[in-house]
């Protein structure tokens, strides 16, 4: 029988630029200690630990949690690309839900290098197969990072299909910086205008430099437990995981040939659908969202994949301000990956941390008024998508 899972503690470090961070295990231990202090429990109460990172050796998880204590618990190291942090959360949730553990730690961390996302294709062929008009534009293109070519190609395909303005993509970055200006944990706090976003160096049309997430260093953690554990420790009013789903690629990611599908649109749509069906909660009930805005193009695509707006309706959703305070859903109040930063292994748990703070009413100047339902979306190409729905109380 499945049990309810509570998030009783969260913590994260301030995200910083490569070259300015301490060692990975120092950041990881700091996030872990913050989560334990938030939960009000000692590390000795944790029965299992799931540690996520993309760059590192095979047992960086042990090196990190040993800073918290040497208790002999199972420590699982995992890498699921950009969805690594939320995969750690998914595994910890399963452990508690099934009774394998009463209390589990999900920990994500990353110490990235400058230019970590800037590898280039070796040949002159466009990435994967594309719709004809997009493929014509991409022929012979080189120089952009592979991820920018893929997500930029998806954005270009979306523009061809719906006539979306470049200014709409740029407006996503403007919103991200405005939200991040209220977040002391974010890497970039400076406000930008649409004109400044569009004037920044072009990376891969329609993406400019300010529309791409930066390599970042940081760590985040969450403590999950059962109702019995919470009762025994006098923990009341915890945030609960109402539903969670992980999806991976199907044939639809590659057939028909579409960059939109290849960067995970169907994975996101299917995971969201599973979560809504399992919880009985729909997108219209969601108050606050942290979604995977690695590039502005992906945020636009994800609005539709998560059902926050109709297919083809993302531009209207953005122009009418339904993606920010005063609109239908406050998306990425943290500043998102674009402005908060994207340390690959930590991102999913940083999203979790922000949403738990929001549901507790402890998000400071960026607090979403009376937030009760929160939605998290974290995707990694390769691929895996994790969607998590949280409920207050």
Q: Quick: pLDDT tens for 247-305.
A: 999 999 998 889 999 999 999 999 999 999 999 999 999 999 999 999 999 999 999 99
81: left (phi over 0), alpha (psi -120 to 50) or beta: left
Residue 274 domain-assigned (yes or no): yes
- Indicate the range of 115-119, 298-302, 361-365 predicted with least confidence: 115-119
Question: Tell me: the pLDDT tens digits for 7-19?
Answer: 999 999 999 999 9
Q: What is the CA angle 214-118-186, rounded to 5? A: 5
Residue 47 domain-assigned (yes or no): yes
Dist. CA 188–CA 16, nearest whole Å: 9
- pLDDT for 289 equals 98
Dist. CA 240–CA 42, nearest whole Å: 21
Dist. CA 23–CA 140, nearest whole Å: 40
Dist. CA 157–CA 300, nearest whole Å: 12
Structure tokens at 204: 């891969």
The answer for residues whose C-beta is within 8 angstroms of residue 383's C-beta and 6 or more apart is: 81, 248, 249, 253, 264, 267
Residue 128 domain-assigned (yes or no): no
DSSP letter assigned to residue 55? S
Question: Tell me: the pLDDT tens digits for 186-195?
Answer: 999 999 999 9
Q: How many domains does the chain have?
A: 1
Helix (H, G, I), strand (E, B) or coil at 111: coil
> Do residues 204 and 224 touch, judged by C-beta distance below 8 A?
no
- pLDDT for 310 equals 97
Across 374-380, average pLDDT:
98
Residue 375 domain-assigned (yes or no): yes
Residue 129's pLDDT band (cuts 50, 70, 90): very low
- pLDDT for 256 equals 81
Pairing outcome for strands 103-110 and 48-52: parallel
384-391: strand order across its sheet: 75-78, 48-52, 103-110, 218-225, 6-12, 239-247, 384-391, 373-380, 288-290, 330-331
- pLDDT for 132 equals 34
Across 316-345, average pLDDT:
98
Residue 65's pLDDT band (cuts 50, 70, 90): very high
> Do residues 375 and 282 touch, judged by C-beta distance below 8 A?
no
Residue 178 domain-assigned (yes or no): no
Across 222-232, average pLDDT:
98
Q: Find where tokens 């549901």 sit.
A: 359
Dist. CA 87–CA 386, nearest whole Å: 7
Q: Which helix or strand (DSSP H or E) is residue 88 part of?
A: helix 84-97
DSSP letter assigned to residue 285? G
Dist. CA 106–CA 73, nearest whole Å: 13
Across 137-151, average pLDDT:
72
Residue 48 domain-assigned (yes or no): yes
- pLDDT for 114 equals 83
Residue 341 domain-assigned (yes or no): yes
Domain of residue 384, residue span:
6-115+215-391
- pLDDT for 142 equals 54
Across 161-189, average pLDDT:
97
- List the catalytic residues: 82
Dist. CA 336–CA 355, nearest whole Å: 12
The pTM score is: 0.94
Dist. CA 319–CA 49, nearest whole Å: 43
Q: Which residue spans within the chain are E strands per DSSP?
A: 6-12, 48-52, 75-78, 103-110, 202-204, 207-208, 218-225, 239-247, 288-290, 330-331, 373-380, 384-391
Residue 19: give its domain's CATH number. Answer: 3.40.47.10
Across 9-38, average pLDDT:
97
Residue 209 domain-assigned (yes or no): no
- pLDDT for 393 equals 80
């Amino acid at each position: 029988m499945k049990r309810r899972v509570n998030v009783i503690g969260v913590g994260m470090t301030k995200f910083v630029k490569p070259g300015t961070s301490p060692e990975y295990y120092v950041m990881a231990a700091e996030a872990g200690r913050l989560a334990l202090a938030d939960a009000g429990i000692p590390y000795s109460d944790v029965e299992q630990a799931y540690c996520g990172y993309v760059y590192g050796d095979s047992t960086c998880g042990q090196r990190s949690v040993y800073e918290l204590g040497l208790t002999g618990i199972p420590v699982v190291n995992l890498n699921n690309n950009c969805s690594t942090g939320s995969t750690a959360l998914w595994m910890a949730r399963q452990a508690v839900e099934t009774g394998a553990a009463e209390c589990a730690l999900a920990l994500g961390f990353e110490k990235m290098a400058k230019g970590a996302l800037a590898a280039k294709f070796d040949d002159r062929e466009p990435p994967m197969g594309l719709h004809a008009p997009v493929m014509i534009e991409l022929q012979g293109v080189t120089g952009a990072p592979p991820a920018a070519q893929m997500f930029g190609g998806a954005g270009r395909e979306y523009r061809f299909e719906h006539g979306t303005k470049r200014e709409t993509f740029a407006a996503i970055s403007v919103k991200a910086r405005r939200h991040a200006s209220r977040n002391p944990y974010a890497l970039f706090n400076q406000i930008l205008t649409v004109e400044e976003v569009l004037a920044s160096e072009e990376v891969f049309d329609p993406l400019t430099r300010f529309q791409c997430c930066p390599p970042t260093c940081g760590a985040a953690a969450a403590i999950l437990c059962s109702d019995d554990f919470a009762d025994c420790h006098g923990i009341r009013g915890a945030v609960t995981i109402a539903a969670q789903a992980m999806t991976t690629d199907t044939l639809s990611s590659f057939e028909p040939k579409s960059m939109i599908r290849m960067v995970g649109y169907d994975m996101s749509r299917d995971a969201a659908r599973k979560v809504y069906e399992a919880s009985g909660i729909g997108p219209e009930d969601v108050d606050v969202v942290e979604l995977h805005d690695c590039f502005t193009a992906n945020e636009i695509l994800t609005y539709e994949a998560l059902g926050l707006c109709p297919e083809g309706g993302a531009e209207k959703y953005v122009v009418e301000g339904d993606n920010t305070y005063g609109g239908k859903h406050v998306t990425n109040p943290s500043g998102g990956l674009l402005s908060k930063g994207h340390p690959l292994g930590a991102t999913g748990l940083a999203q979790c941390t922000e949403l738990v703070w929001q549901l507790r009413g402890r998000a400071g100047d960026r607090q979403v008024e009376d937030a009760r339902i929160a939605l998290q979306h974290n995707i990694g190409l390769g691929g895996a998508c994790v969607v998590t729905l949280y409920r207050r109380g």
